[in-house]
Amino acid sequence: MAESKDMTLATTVTFLGAAVWSDHEDREGEPLTLEDLAVKVGMTPTTISQHLRYLGIGYRSGRPGLGLVLTGINPDNRRKKTFDLTPRGRGLAAQLALILRKAT
């Protein structure tokens, strides 16, 4: 995150939401979708999609993303996207969790 000086608070909230809920499933045992994440963090699915592109592999105009999040297609409903953290994203989430534990 330190290398991304233009990361907004809303994008940070999206990353933290993805970190918290990346390993969770819905009631049917399916991975959570971008729409599920949007509800959990109080944003629109369009905003979440934009944030995850920035946090992921690539952003608009060919700008590289931060490589923290991966998105995929839900195999049961190809119109829906799922999300997960990359190893780099998991590392950042672990560092943040450690900082929070030390602060309390």
Q: And the tokens for 3?
A: 């290398």
CA-based nearest residue to 31, from 22, 39, 40: 22
Residue 2: per-residue pLDDT: 52
pLDDT tens-digit series, residues 4-55 = 567 889 999 999 999 999 888 777 777 899 999 999 999 999 999 999 999 9
In the chain, where the domains are located = 9-81
Q: Which DSSP string do the residues of 7-47 spell out, in sequence order? A: --HHHHHHHHHHHHHTT-B-TTSPBPBHHHHHHHHT--HHH
Tell me the whole-structure pTM to 2 decimals: 0.85
Is the separation of the CB atoms in 69 and 85 below 8 Å? Answer: yes
Range of lowest pLDDT (34-43, 67-76, 82-91)? 67-76
Is the model's pLDDT at 81 over the cut of 70?
Answer: yes
Q: Which CATH number fits domain 9-81: 1.10.10.10, 1.10.10.2520, 3.40.50.300, 3.40.640.10?
A: 1.10.10.10
